[in-house]
Amino acid sequence: MRGLLSGTCLAALLAAGLVGAAHSADYAPVTDSRLDNPEPENWLMTRGTYKGWSYSPLDQINTSNVRNLVPVWSVATGVDSGHEAPPIVNNGVMFVSTPYAQVMALDAASGDLLWRYKRKLPEGFSALHNTNRGVALYGDKVYLAGLDAVLVALDARTGKVVWETKVGDWKDGYYMTMAPLVVKGKILVGVAGGEFGVRGFVEAFDAETGKSAWKTYSIPAPGEPGSDTWQKPDTWKTGGASTWMTGNYDVASNTVYWGTGNGSPWFGDQRPGDNLYTSSTLALDGDSGKLIGHFQYQQNEDWDWDAMNAPMLVDFQHNGTTIPGLLTPQRNGYLYWLEREPNGGIKYLNAVAYVPQNVFKSIDATTGRPVIDMDHKPGTGKMAQFCPGLWGGKDWPYESYSPKTGMVYIPANENHCNKFEGKVEERVPGQWWTGVAVPDFHFSVDTKAGFYGEIKTYDVNTGAPGWRQLYSRSMMWGSLLTTGGNLVFGGGTNDREFRAYNASTGEELWHFKTNSGIIAPPSSFAVNGVQYIAVQSGYGVDAAFQEQLLSELVGWQADVPQGGVVWVFAVR
């Protein structure tokens, strides 16, 4: 009885955030300069740095000792569904966000729980994806993009709410899953809801007060530049171009690069025109949010190929010159080399298909505009098959760039297609509004294919393909992490494995079977001179849905156990 009481007391103290208070004196405020140049031992933002490489320079864990990697602590998150956030670490304090807008603060070395915040979602609330992709840190606060489209600032020491600001109306279909991006005292967020007919935007809020500083829509209103690409009246109001993944930031030019999603509804003939800025990368002024450049990957979108991932900021060789570049493997199955122009413009340089794709006949060498094979463009009342299917050559999981190898590592999927046609549907705010019902997706795979998921690699300077890792009985839904130890870490497969590969050769050097499937990005950090690798394991959302379809198509096990656990590994 006494033991039970102690446990209850501890739970009460945790709920009140009192245990975390013990760490108050140690918490290191996050500054602009620290975000510009994070210490190697810290993982201060979702992809490690503003450049979005998903790369840790730490090298204590390396190709020679990774076989000795063992779990040193773990903790259950207490929730199911898809865990898609990397552990964010600041001077020994780890912040992990989970589905249903929960944040746990933990001692990064011991795993002790410091505090927990769990957002109470509104009655009747629902979202297509209940996930969260990470918190942002600034000053002494932790910023969470709430699933119900409310931005929440928490006290990093206690987990108590400092302020909340409504970003969008969830009843109209807006919700948020990305990690906020901190840019010079402002907290930038984007919105999801491209399947519900929202109009996307990026909005910045004052980090101290939560007051809106600027808001830039990803679809122009009539009269604004680009509005002539919405040729049918009012389609722009519900045209999609959601902004559901975190942007990257070029500190030198003060430019934010942010990705946008599909058009709404999915069928382009219902919204004639190129539909700027759907499926695009936006370049935004870091102070004002003004749109200063863009690149659209495919016009009049039909395939649910969002361009949600912001390109990585990578300088590469092009025609004998070092280019300030943007590198991005897109959901449409192509890997793009783009140039960051001084005025914020985005210039197309080159693209190669990293998976077989049957929609683009060619890509204009100057503009990057694809020529579409109309036989593979679905329409309203027009059935068409396209490959890769709507989940793309890759979905949201992060690719990684290693400056040590000069290679990009892409978590990819191929040998899958979709086939559908559209209908004209009445929009109900907050409800699915794509023009095609889920049962009519007609997802298919090549049942004779030798693999489906893979890691593909390319030399960023020459464009030459490097090693591949093929998964014969799984899709690949895991973000990748490269490290200074010449390693690639990632999960993503339905067998619950977390793996380490030699970044140069692709040789698998280590693996560990976790509680669930891993779709979250790994991160790396160090405390007291010891390097750790951390990742959440928790299968769900689209990976689980696709796995259920594959169980019917090719007999894979539909039941990949769910339930989140944070794992932390070190060499012993």
Partner 1 sequence: MTERDGCRVWNMKWRRRRMVGGGLALAAGLATGLAPGARAEDPSEMPPQPGDRLVFLTGPKKGTAIKPDDLPLGGPQAQAYPASPEGVLREGSRLNLLIVARFDPAQLAPETLARATDGVVAYSGVCTHQACPVNAWSDEQKMAVCSCHGSTYDLRDGAKLVFGPAPHALAALPLKRADDVLVVADKFTRHVGGEMM
Judged by the rule CB under 8 A, the positions of this chain that interact with partner 1 are 5, 8-9, 12-13, 79-81, 99-100, 121, 123-128, 130, 171, 195, 426, 428, 430-432, 437-440, 541, 544-545, 548
Nearer to partner 1, 309 or 562 (CB): 562
3-state helix, strand, coil in the chain (%, to 5): 10, 40, 50
As a whole number of angstroms, the distance between CA 242 and CA 245 comes to 9
User: Closest Cα partner for 394 from 462, 486, 490, 482?
Assistant: 490
In this structure, are residues 524 and 481 in contact, taking their beta carbons and an 8 Å threshold? yes
CA distance 135 to 98: 10
Alpha-carbon distance of 199 to 174, in angstroms, equals 9
Residues in the chain: 572
Instruction: Provide, rounded to whole angstroms, the least separation between the CB of residue 425 and partner 1.
Output: 9
Instruction: Kindly calculate the radius of gyration of the chain based on its CA atoms and give it in whole angstroms.
Output: 22
- CB of residue 437 to partner 1, shortest distance in Å: 4
Angle at 377 between CA 366 and CA 193, to 5 degrees: 90
- Find the shortest distance in angstroms from Cβ 409 to partner 1: 29
- Tell me if residue 20 falls in helix, strand or coil: helix
- Cβ-contact 218, 277 below 8 angstroms: yes
419 neighbors 385 (Cβ within 8 angstroms): yes
Residue 245 C-beta: closest distance to partner 1, Å: 19
Minimum separation from the CB atom of position 12 to partner 1 (A):
4
**Identity of the residue, 432 or 467, whose beta carbon is nearer to partner 1 in the bound complex:** 432
CB 93 within 8 A of CB 24: no
Q: What are phi and psi of 354, to 5 degrees?
A: -90, -10
CA nearest neighbour of 550 among 493, 498, 497:
493
Question: Closest CB to partner 1 among 242 and 280?
Answer: 242
Buried b (16+ CB within 10 A) or exposed e, 60-74: bbbbeebeebeebbe
* CB closer to partner 1 out of 266 and 409: 266
Provide the token pair at 63: 């190709």
User: In whole angstroms, how close is the CB of 561 to partner 1 at the nearest point?
Assistant: 13
d(CA 43, CA 111): 16
H helix or E strand, kind and range, residue 34: helix 32-36
Measured distance CA(371)–CA(392) in Å, rounded = 18
> Cβ of residue 556: shortest distance to partner 1, in angstroms?
16
Select 14 or 256, whichever has its Cβ closest to partner 1: 14
- As a whole number of angstroms, the distance between CA 526 and CA 524 comes to 7
Closer CB to partner 1, 301 or 542, in the complex: 542
Closest CA to 139 of 287, 32, 273: 32
Separation CA 132–CA 422 (nearest Å): 30
| Active-site residue (options: 250, 274, 302, 304) | 304
* Of residues 373 and 440, the one with the C-beta less far from partner 1: 440
234 classed as catalytic: no
Q: Which is nearer to partner 1, 25 or 426 (CB)?
A: 426
Cβ 429 to partner 1, closest distance in Å? Answer: 11
Which is nearer to partner 1, 77 or 483 (by Cβ)?
Answer: 77
Q: Which of 570, 538, 543 is nearest to 558 (CA)?
A: 543
CB of 521 to partner 1, least distance (A): 22
Query: Which residue numbers are catalytic?
Result: 304
